[in-house]
Structure 1
Amino acid sequence: MKQLTTHTLPAISSSDIQLPAAAHLQLPEKVLQFGTGVLLRGLPDYFIDKANKAGVFNGRVVVVKSTGKGSTDAFADQQGLYTLCIRGIEQGQKVAENSLNASISRVLSAAAEWDEILHCAENPDMEIVISNTTEVGITLVDDNINAAPPVSFPGKLLAFLYRRYQHFSGRADKGMIIIPTELLVDNGKKLKEIVLELAARHQLAPAFISWLNDANHFCSSLVDRIVPGALPAQEQQAMQEALGYKDDLMIMAEAYRLWAIETADKKVQERLSFSKTDSGVVLAPDINVFRELKLRLLNGTHTFSCGLAVLAGFNTVRQAMEDADMEACISSLMLQEMAPAITDIYISDTMAAEFAQSVLDRFRNPHIAHQWVAITMQYTSKMKMRNIPVLLRHYERSQEPPRLMALGFAAYLLFMRSERTADGQYKGAVNGKEYTIQDDHAAWFHDEWKRLEAAVLVKEVLANTNLWGTDLTQLKGFARAVTDMLSALTRDGATAVIKKALTESRQPLAAGAQ
């Protein structure tokens, strides 16, 4: 079987894949991308390639490999080509699409090819910088932008921009659009602040600082797509045989995709023309609404459900969604309790319901094996950040305790009951199966469970303002509901309690509860 390269493209005859035209391989380099990871290849590079195939964006990506780990050999061998296999469920329908991505023109090593990367700054076609360097990448460190290369990503970016400024004599139309995708709130604003601080530390000319501020656009963004990476070995082999070539860079991504980019500038929006070919790219003056939807309905539902799922014996989200009762419990939690709680002047009922349905499709994806126990990592901080605000907003609308949120909280408490091992780990157990609790508050919960009866423990945990920032015992009926759910979980087991909770959640609220 031949290796995927530009030379093998003409011989690919499979109807199961979308192929680039020969002209797509000659498009000018418009994007400098810091990061070779699968998220960038499965999301921004996917959008760019799709737009190129539609004749819209018409530009390719130069990828910068910033770390010393691994090599760029596979990219060089395949001339940047790779197969993206999209698998999942969208609007209730199974999705299986394959696309040969030709968006990457070349991959350069920052350690070995820094001069060539700086030379890219002199390319008049260059317009956009994309990054995914992990959250640690957008931090201020004492850096030298004259090094080859600078240590930090902001240092590298500043060196690139300074070279561009010098080469084009400060022309305003040669500024860049910089879009970080790191998982930080206001990532664009934070990156700009760091770059400006580094410029000040290097005592760069005021004219350059003005150009940096006025001619360049740092756009905060939010990315959301699960890209597991390589397919399972058997599936990859079958795909290669079906397509007729060997691809060492083949990756899989779920069907859902979102890249929300914060900008109100019409010229910036025009230059980000790849947004015109896929509804998954959203250009908006404020992207907080997308962050709120994701944080509450996707992440929050995960957090309210993970302990309960582990206690009920489910290993993965997919397994839980294949069980009728657990699927109904998760769906009801999201649609009946959480979505109504977050609606406001920015998030309509329709918007929340549609997003919730897309989340449920993602949870049902048979190609993603998301482990519930992995979601329980730092359970307490996730509960505080993701779910307590939703609980409080529920009580702004209703004084009736939310039954399924109470069940999720009770399951969290029971999940946190543990034994301390000789090596200092905290282990919980359900039906004879152990799990490790990875939570900064594991020791405190261990001690509380040893010392208190369950009903007293519930009140003490809920009243702990250090954990939640507020006294949750002040929420009418919530402590009682959590206590009852915890008692039932301990006595009857999670499976039985889920069935009962579903029946109760369908009952109408008591008169006057709203």
Structure 2
Amino acid sequence: MKLNQSLLSDPSLTQLPEKVLQFGTGVLLRGLCDYFIDKANKEGIFNGRIVVVKSTDSGGADAFAEQDNLYTICVRGIDKGVAKEENIISAAISRVLSAQSQWAEILSTAKNPAISIVISNTTEVGLQYVEESISQTPPASFPAKLTTWLYERFQAGLPGAVIIPTELIVGNGDKLKEIVLQLCAFNQLPDKFVEWVNKENSFCNSLVDRIVPGKPKGDSLKELDAKLGYKDDLLTIAEVYRLWAIEGDEKVKETLSFAEADPGVKIEKNIEQYRELKLRMLNGTHTLMCGMAYLSGFETVKEALADELTEKFITILMTTEIVPAIPYKIQAKVCQRYGREVLDRFRNPYLEHQWISITLQYTMKMRMRNIPLLLNYYKEFNTVPQYFARGFAAYLLFMRAVKEENGKYFGQRGGEFYPIQCDAAPYFYQVWQNHSADEVVQEVLANKELWGSDLTQLSGFAGNVSTHLSNMMMIGVREVASALNVYA
């Protein structure tokens, strides 16, 4: 039996008006932001649903339409020392529209006065300025799509919206507004519209923090299907921990009334502390460890944490190199508490968080999350962060593509090929084809386009990365990681 409206305990939830426009169908949005809205709806607080925009056609029957736009969130984890399992059928989404084939329908939502919130998660890559006309059907980039939608709303004489990008970029709301204004200038849009964008809309910096690894596989999925009593192609697992920190004033709070339903939504004037803790300690650790853990033979995060030496490596990396390099002053006890929470979340026995999925857009993540830590570490201590250097060496080895097929690149672990899902994959393919390992280190670290600065200027860093990379290629990644201080 496929998930459908007959399984809802309260069918009236599907009749609530549309109040939110969301760019992105990913599991993070569905497992966190949409989770909060669904919870508020069920408590009679927000009473509004979400129109979702997906960037492409699915090429066949759409999973959302097949399931009446319902999906299951399976919450699994430890909550204050107690194991928690909860299965939630979310009715937060009203419909899903394709930007490629339903652009006119998407633009028509701008004329709906009830829609006063825009949410997005298009990954860090999606939040960039692309010089393009907003008259395209549709524009290619998300910011251009948003600019077009806002212009439609302005022409309809409606108030602005609360716009909350959740892409993991520092100052994501400020960045999105800057891009929208650039597009206004490029498209020569009226001054009155620009004034309206500035005065009538709230672009909120925000931070999302929840591990949402998606749908389980194999026997785990079969067991879950049997337990639920229905099949759900959109099912997603989510940890208990949840945080959506949003920078906003009282007007924003009033619009985002769903925040009242869960303490995990925090609307404050300044969210820098939440951002830096999450971006550096959770995401930064993930990014520095994903290549190393995967090449060490671990498939999931919990597998790596179950290995004593790997757990020790991660703990040392986080507490002695990442925390001291966070470019924002946070009380030590706050960092320590958050660090314990992060390690507990990594150990969550219920989550099958795949390391290979964390390598998506590996290079962009390394630049955004970790390079500021590296630079600040040198500023503070002027010495090599040894565990960071090993994580970076493993990143270079992971990016060693050994074959290319139809524009897709693959590395090799043992006798198996793995996908390198990164925009920089063609560059690394060429670099590894034409250079020795030591030369690869020098070439990549000196690439200012990748990192924004020449990392070979950091005293001793290139040499250490080269040593660790050579050792990984000779004796194995896991052996180098397990050696802890031997190669430091």
What interval of TM-score do these two structures reach, taking the shorter chain for normalisation? 0.7 to 0.9
**Cα drift, residue 385 of structure 1:** 5.4
Corresponding residue for 1:262?
Answer: 247
Question: Partners in 2 of 1:93 and 1:316 — Cα distance?
Answer: 23
State whether residues 91 and 361 of structure 1, in contact with CA within 8 Å, keep that contact through their aligned partners in structure 2.
no
1:69-94 superposed Cα distances (whole Å, 9 cap, x missing partner): 34675434433222111234556654
> Equivalent of 1:271, from 255, 276, 298?
255
TM, length-normalised to structure 1: 0.74
Q: Find out whether 1:365 has 2:364 as its counterpart.
A: no
Give the stretch that moved more between structures: 93-102 or 430-439.
430-439
Letter matched to residue 120 of structure 1: T
State whether residues 74 and 86 of structure 2, in contact with CA within 8 Å, keep that contact through their aligned partners in structure 1.
yes
Letter matched to residue 352 of structure 1: C
Give the stretch that moved more between structures: 430-439 or 404-413.
430-439
> Equivalent of 2:373, from 367, 381, 390?
390
Aligned to 1:62, what secondary structure does the other structure show? strand
- Flag structure 2 segments of 5+ consecutive residues without an equivalent: none
1:441-491 superposed Cα distances (whole Å, 9 cap, x missing partner): 566567664789xxxx99x7899586763556636xx78977887787688
Corresponding residue for 1:302?
Answer: 286
Letter matched to residue 286 of structure 2: H
> Equivalent of 1:180, from 156, 165, 172?
165
Q: Find out whether 1:227 has 2:212 as its counterpart.
A: yes
Higher Cα radius of gyration: 1
State whether residues 34 and 133 of structure 1, in contact with CA within 8 Å, keep that contact through their aligned partners in structure 2.
yes
Corresponding residue for 2:3?
Answer: 4
Q: What is the number of equivalent residue pairs in this alignment?
A: 479
State whether residues 317 and 363 of structure 1, in contact with CA within 8 Å, keep that contact through their aligned partners in structure 2.
yes
Corresponding residue for 1:210?
Answer: 195
Aligned to 1:309, what secondary structure does the other structure show? helix
State whether residues 390 and 465 of structure 2, in contact with CA within 8 Å, keep that contact through their aligned partners in structure 1.
yes
State whether residues 137 and 153 of structure 1, in contact with CA within 8 Å, keep that contact through their aligned partners in structure 2.
yes
**Cα drift, residue 323 of structure 1:** 1.0
**Cα drift, residue 68 of structure 1:** 2.5
**Cα drift, residue 64 of structure 1:** 3.3
The verdict on how the C-alpha distance between 1:247 and 1:470 changes in structure 2, with shifts beyond 3 A counting, is closer
Corresponding residue for 1:509?
Answer: none
- Flag structure 1 segments of 5+ consecutive residues without an equivalent: 10-18, 506-514
Cα RMSD of the aligned pairs, angstroms, is 4.5
Question: Partners in 1 of 2:239 and 2:305 — Cα distance?
Answer: 16
Q: Find out whether 1:349 has 2:332 as its counterpart.
A: yes
1:139-197 superposed Cα distances (whole Å, 9 cap, x missing partner): 4453354x766665445434443443344x45xxx321122234444443343344445
The verdict on how the C-alpha distance between 1:96 and 1:471 changes in structure 2, with shifts beyond 3 A counting, is same
State whether residues 307 and 408 of structure 1, in contact with CA within 8 Å, keep that contact through their aligned partners in structure 2.
yes
1:189-235 superposed Cα distances (whole Å, 9 cap, x missing partner): 34334444555566555444332321122223333444343332544
**Cα drift, residue 267 of structure 1:** 0.5
Identity among equivalent positions (%) equals 48
Letter matched to residue 292 of structure 1: E
> Equivalent of 1:319, from 303, 314, 317?
303
> Equivalent of 1:334, from 309, 312, 318?
318
1:243-294 superposed Cα distances (whole Å, 9 cap, x missing partner): 334434322233343333233x211122112223334333343444444333
> Equivalent of 2:132, from 132, 142, 155?
142
Letter matched to residue 59 of structure 1: G
TM, length-normalised to structure 2: 0.77
State whether residues 83 and 101 of structure 1, in contact with CA within 8 Å, keep that contact through their aligned partners in structure 2.
yes
Letter matched to residue 320 of structure 1: A
Question: Partners in 2 of 1:102 and 1:128 — Cα distance?
Answer: 18
**Cα drift, residue 67 of structure 1:** 2.4
The verdict on how the C-alpha distance between 1:275 and 1:166 changes in structure 2, with shifts beyond 3 A counting, is same
| Equivalences for residues 384-463 of structure 1 within 5 A | 386-394=369-377, 398=381, 402=385, 404-405=387-388, 407-408=390-391, 415=397, 440-441=427-428, 444=431, 449=436
Question: Partners in 1 of 2:79 and 2:447 — Cα distance?
Answer: 41
